[in-house]
Amino acid sequence: ALACASTGNTAASLAAYGALAALPVLVFVPAGKIARGKLAQAVAYGANVIEVDGDFDSALSLVQEVCTELGVALLNSINPYRIEGQKSAAFEIVQAFGGSAPDWVVLPAGNLGNISAYGKAFHELQELGILQRVPRLAGIQAEGANPFYLSYQTGFTRRYRVKAETVATAIRIGDPASHDRALRALKWTDGVVEQVSDEEILLAKSKVDGSGIGCEPASAASVAGVRKLRAKGLIRPDETVVAVLTGHLLKDPEIVLNKWEEKQRVQIDARDRAKALRQVSELLERKMSEDHHA
């Protein structure tokens, strides 16, 4: 049997591969704090979803004990094989750059598995002589879920744990399991940690969505982080930057649909064609005016 604690993405992935391998899967999620798009994936793939009263950190603590006591394989980033698998995303970046690396790779930072894996991958490629230099890593946390950022601000003389709350559900984590690995990744890459507000995350998300790509709020933290680091002068105009989007728009669509229902929903009575045409015309004029002033 396989198990994980998850805010969503790990649950969906583990459930899919568990189904493929015909192995039972236990998924522990914080009750009421997982995006429904991700929950739907885990349920559809046949995972046994267990809701835990508390946050992600409570779920992770519980699943560790379950795995130890019952002999179940744990697939969170505590498992080093998980980190080894995640390294492949960094290899693909190097491949896309023709065997070299960008100046920066910017990632959302929640449980810190990704930044740990990317740092290890780039370090190993340099050790093998494939890369002459490694990119600088930037881990971006939400202000409401920022323990790693707080530790970074102290020069990592203190480890923080916080009660996490943010619209970016995938990084709503107050005590990241891969803290020490992530710190090592920062040292290898001369990396930085930044925090962004929920407002900055949602603004960045609107830009990504408006480009026709689309991402979940947690993914937009990387783009918001690029904007902030650029404004601070840490990222220079002549540098190449890869901002990693870790989750598709449909993974966490609630905030988009809530905004649409509150402010943008348009209902028209098709039986009154004259009124319907007038409403559509006004809608187009308003939209064109908004786009002109954007």
Residue with tokens 């065997």: 99
Based on the domain organization, do 97 and 126 belong to the same domain? yes
Based on the domain organization, do 25 and 143 belong to the same domain? no
Dump pLDDT digits (tens) for 104-117.
Answer: 999 999 999 999 99
Q: What are phi and psi of 25, to 5 degrees?
A: -125, 130
Angle, CA 90 vertex, CA 211 and CA 255 arms, to 5°: 35
Instruction: Tell me the average pLDDT across 16-33.
Output: 95
- Name the helix (H) or strand (E) containing 122: helix 113-127
Domain membership of residue 276 as a residue range:
258-293
Does the pLDDT value for residue 293 go beyond 70?
A: no
| Chosen domain end from 53, 74, 95 | 74
Confidence grade of residue 287 (pLDDT, cut at 50, 70, 90): confident
Confidence grade of residue 289 (pLDDT, cut at 50, 70, 90): confident
| Chosen domain end from 74, 90, 107 | 74
Based on the domain organization, do 18 and 140 belong to the same domain? no
Query: The tokens of 63 are what?
Result: 């699943």
How many structural domains does the chain have?
3
Based on the domain organization, do 45 and 169 belong to the same domain? no
Query: The tokens of 58 are what?
Result: 């409570």
Does the pLDDT value for residue 147 go beyond 90?
A: yes
- Give the integer Cα–Cα distance in Å for 118 and 135: 10
Based on the domain organization, do 109 and 231 belong to the same domain? yes
Based on the domain organization, do 17 and 124 belong to the same domain? no
Based on the domain organization, do 55 and 114 belong to the same domain? no
Q: What are phi and psi of 111, to 5 degrees?
A: -85, -5
Based on the domain organization, do 234 and 88 belong to the same domain? yes
Question: How many alpha carbons fall within 13 Å on the CB side of residue 151?
Answer: 21
Based on the domain organization, do 88 and 174 belong to the same domain? yes
Determine the pLDDT at residue 292: 66
In SS3 terms, 161-183 reads as: CCCCCCCCHHHCCCCCCCHHHHH
The whole-model pTM stands at 0.88
Dump pLDDT digits (tens) for 43-82.
Answer: 999 999 999 999 999 999 999 999 999 999 999 989 999 9
Based on the domain organization, do 85 and 195 belong to the same domain? yes
Dump pLDDT digits (tens) for 159-214.
Answer: 999 999 999 999 999 999 999 999 999 999 999 999 999 999 999 999 999 999 99
The CATH number covering residue 18 comes to 3.40.50.1100
What letters, b where the CB count within 10 A reaches 16 and e where it falls short, cover 3-39?
A: bbbbbbbbbbbbbbebeeeeeebbbbbbeebbbebbb
Dump pLDDT digits (tens) for 77-97.
Answer: 899 999 999 999 999 999 999
Based on the domain organization, do 113 and 236 belong to the same domain? yes
Residue with tokens 């094989």: 81
Based on the domain organization, do 193 and 140 belong to the same domain? yes
Instruction: Tell me the average pLDDT across 112-132.
Output: 98
Determine the pLDDT at residue 232: 98
Inter-residue contact 29 to 11 (CB < 8 Å): yes
Instruction: Tell me the average pLDDT across 131-135.
Output: 98
Query: The tokens of 166 are what?
Result: 């943010």
| Chosen domain end from 33, 54, 74 | 74
Determine the pLDDT at residue 268: 87
Dump pLDDT digits (tens) for 241-268.
Answer: 999 999 999 988 888 888 888 877 888 8
Angle, CA 33 vertex, CA 228 and CA 47 arms, to 5°: 120
Q: Which residue has the higher pLDDT, 146 or 259?
A: 146
Query: The tokens of 162 are what?
Result: 């916080």
What SS3 class is residue 19? helix
